[in-house]
Amino acid sequence: MPIYKRLLKYLRPYIGKLVVAGACMFGVAILTASLAYLVKPALDDIFFEKNLNMLMLIPVVVASVYIVKGFCDFGQYYLMAFVGQSIIRDLRKDMFCKLEDMSVGFFVKHSTGELLSRMNNDVSMVQGALTSAITGVVRDTLTVISLIVVVFIRDSTLALIAMVVFPLAIYPLLNFGRRLKRYSRRMLVSLEDITERLNETITGIRIVKAFAMEDYERKRFSEVNENLFNAFMRRFKVRAMSNPVMETIGGFGVCAIVTYGGFQVINGESTQGTFFSFMAALVMLYEPIKRISDVNNTVQEGLSAGERIFALMDTEPDVKDAPGALPLGEISGKVELRNITFGYDSNPVIHDISLVVNPGEAIAVVGESGVGKSTLLDLVPRFYDPSGGSIEIDGIDVRSITQRSLREKIGIVTQQTILFDDTVRNNIAYGRPDLPLELVISAAKAAHAHDFIIAQPDGYDSLIGENGIKLSGGERQRLAIARALLKNPPILILDEATSNLDSDSEKTVQDALEALMKGRATLIVAHRLSTIQNVDRVYVMAHGRIVEQGSHAELLELNGEFARLYNLQFSKEPGNVK
């Protein structure tokens, strides 16, 4: 089973603790068997022979066995819990690192709910498969072997009768395991769905409220909730059936043993102590055998989760560093796109585009929604790779340099401002909490953010909530600009950075953007054409191609596509240019 072999690799760092836990399990097994073995002398010597010395000795021995067994039980439980939680920690860390390495396109194809479910639910099930399997297989197998030894010592004929039952239990055990694996996979898919529904509803609660769609969302949630309930119940049904089937099979064996053993005692061929010692060992056998059955169920569920986890872990990122890729050193910031072609899933959305922006220049890419403006700029930091053509920074193909060093040279401010549930200071100095506060304040002032920051209850130490929910749109945008200013990159990408702001906020943010753009090579995606009057060149896109280029004034004079877009925004009468 390759999946289980891969999972077992996560146990290797904890071999020492597993060995100690195994020793504790061995102790539990031997001491459990010794309790069954002591039943014969307890009955025969104390109750039938009335031996006073044994009356004084056996209780002390039994008490000592229970004390030592208790310590061993604690040791194996605690150590296995430690190993189990360590596995969860390590597996989640590896999954998170894998997600961090994935390209942007991966997150377009996989929903947030799916990824959260795999990170939480699947990993927990895998942990159970590993630690429960080891605990069950080692401890319970040792206990079963020890008790079987006692059973054969006490009465080999009865033991052989009892052993007939075990082969009968194998088929239902395997059948339950296969079914449980199948149902567990369905359950995990349902968990993904409900996690995704919760995530969408919570993050979009303003829209839900604004459209009075609470009842609609309740209905949608009820559907996935019902699916999850049904998936769980199918799983529980199989689990619930396994124990009664095993007990019934075991019950037939007990009936046969009691009948045969009773005849032996009645005929004087065995003592009561021998028979009850045998029965005690047999009864004690039931629990570890039942746990082994449960372990099989848990392992099948864990394998199901493991398959899903490793399917994610084995996914290769669409964008990777080339072998021998070198870090990008100091640059002036010239960006050139040569004959770029790109498409999602082999559907071209960008066709043979070329443009250039020199250090200190600002260029804008405009066009109707959906023509590929943002996608084009996403190619510069290698969020995606073009299917044709090349992108060069200072004459160096970006595919020959490391992604990390490339992105360190690029600052990005987007329409959808991403902030973290942290302090103002830590959002501006993202990833660099040790930066002096003076530098953070300087960046905030340049971004026209200092005044509203110091008006917050705790100033730069104020918490802004999830994605900056405690701030206005303009305030969030200015924090993002301050963050980009503090990074001080030679290349800047502005993707509709003011499109969602009112006029007052737009003016303030625009002033901050102009401070940010000074001395940098700036690429702008603009929806509001009034914001790009001072750029060096404007590239107009239509149907995935550049159809016009020139200055703002030149394109208006051309009276082509750009003029049409401009008129749609600023003219009351079509065809009149203001």
The tens digit of pLDDT for each residue in 306-335 reads: 888 888 888 888 889 999 899 998 999 899
Question: What mean pLDDT comes out for the span 179-190?
Answer: 76
This prediction has a pTM of 0.71
Output phi, psi for 577, to 5 deg.
-100, 130
Confidence of residue 406 (pLDDT cuts 50, 70, 90): very high
Specify the pLDDT at position 572.
41
**147 pLDDT above the threshold of 80:** no
59-81 in b/e burial notation, b at 16+ Cβ within 10 A?
eeeeeebeeebeebbebbbebbe
pLDDT digits (tens, 9 = 90+) for 500-548: 566 666 677 777 777 778 888 999 998 778 778 888 999 999 988 999 9
Give the single-character DSSP code of 101: H
Lookup: tokens for 110: 């996989």
Question: What mean pLDDT comes out for the span 336-354?
Answer: 88
Q: How far apart are the C-alpha atoms of 286 and 281, rounded to whole Å?
A: 9
Alpha helices in 102-164 (DSSP H): 104-109, 112-117, 123-134, 141-154, 156-163
Lookup: tokens for 384: 């995606």
**221 pLDDT above the threshold of 80:** yes
Q: How far apart are the C-alpha atoms of 376 and 524, rounded to whole Å?
A: 11
Question: What mean pLDDT comes out for the span 186-194?
Answer: 80
**340 pLDDT above the threshold of 90:** yes
**131 pLDDT above the threshold of 80:** no
Q: How far apart are the C-alpha atoms of 406 and 333, rounded to whole Å?
A: 11
Confidence of residue 110 (pLDDT cuts 50, 70, 90): confident
Confidence of residue 127 (pLDDT cuts 50, 70, 90): confident
pLDDT digits (tens, 9 = 90+) for 462-471: 999 887 888 8
Distances (CA, A) of 19 to 81, 130, 177, 432: 14, 15, 28, 42
Question: What mean pLDDT comes out for the span 152-181?
Answer: 66
Ordered by start, the domain boundaries in the chain are 2-313, 331-409+528-571
Q: What is the mean pLDDT of the chain?
A: 81
Length of the chain: 578
Secondary-structure breakdown of the chain: helix, strand, coil percentages, each rounded to the nearest 5 = 65, 10, 20
268: alpha, beta or left, given left = phi > 0 and alpha = psi -120 to 50?
left
DSSP one-letter string for 43-100 = IIIIIIS--HHHHHHHHHHHHHHHHHHHHHHHHHHHHHHHHHHHHHHHHHHHHHHHHH
549 neighbors 538 (Cβ within 8 angstroms): yes
Q: Is the CATH number of domain 2-313 1.10.10.10?
A: no
How far is C-alpha 487 from the geometric centre of its chain's CA atoms?
A: 29
**352 pLDDT above the threshold of 70:** yes
Q: How far apart are the C-alpha atoms of 433 and 280, rounded to whole Å?
A: 65
446 neighbors 484 (Cβ within 8 angstroms): no
Q: 331-409+528-571 has which CATH code?
A: 3.40.50.300
Between 506 and 29, name the one with better pLDDT: 29
The residue among 305, 308, 414, 318 whose CA lies nearest residue 101 is: 318
Specify the pLDDT at position 47.
64
